[in-house]
Amino acid sequence: MKKRDKIIYWTATLWLALGMVSTGLVQLFRMKEEVEKTAHHLGYPEYLLIILGIWKLLGVIAILIPRFPLLKEWAYAGFFFVMSGAIVSHLILHDSIGDLFGPTLLILLTIVSWYFRPADRRLSFNPNLN
């Protein structure tokens, strides 16, 4: 792996982890502003915050620990689905660009981290196995 790619991977991954941990904790502890935005404004049930918070924290652990490439794929997919869902939810309600910034940044970091991940963090494919 090129040094440039390694720097891109770790920069994107650490920013992604920071973003997911911070938003996950806000959701897990059901902070007032998050409850207002998610439950009242977007119309999702309040208990969804706890589920999202727990899964975000577990996803961060999955992408940071060595090995377990299949688990990493699931974590990246989960991050992508949650952030794309947030973007679509804000778009449907015609929310401001500011409301789209966070989930858009996190989905971009997810894609960059996934794309530049090292070989030992990827699923290997053996075409001889049938």
In a domain, 63, yes or no: yes
Residue 63: give the domain boundaries: 3-117
| Interval 40-69 mean pLDDT | 96
In a domain, 130, yes or no: no
In a domain, 31, yes or no: yes
Residue 77: pLDDT over 60: yes
Q: What's the pTM?
A: 0.91
Residue 130: pLDDT over 70: no
In a domain, 122, yes or no: no
Distance set, CA 112 to CA 19, 34, 92, 109 (Å): 14, 27, 26, 5
| Interval 60-81 mean pLDDT | 96
In a domain, 29, yes or no: yes
Residue 89: pLDDT over 70: yes
Locate tokens 């989905």: which residue?
107
In a domain, 125, yes or no: no
Domain tally, the chain:
1
Q: How confident is the model at residue 125 (pLDDT cuts 50, 70, 90)?
A: confident
Positive or negative torsion for Cα 21, 79, 71, 128: negative
Please state, as a whole number, how many other Cβ atoms lie within 10 Å of the Cβ of residue 77: 13
What does the DSSP 8-state code read for residue 98? H
In a domain, 17, yes or no: yes
In a domain, 23, yes or no: yes
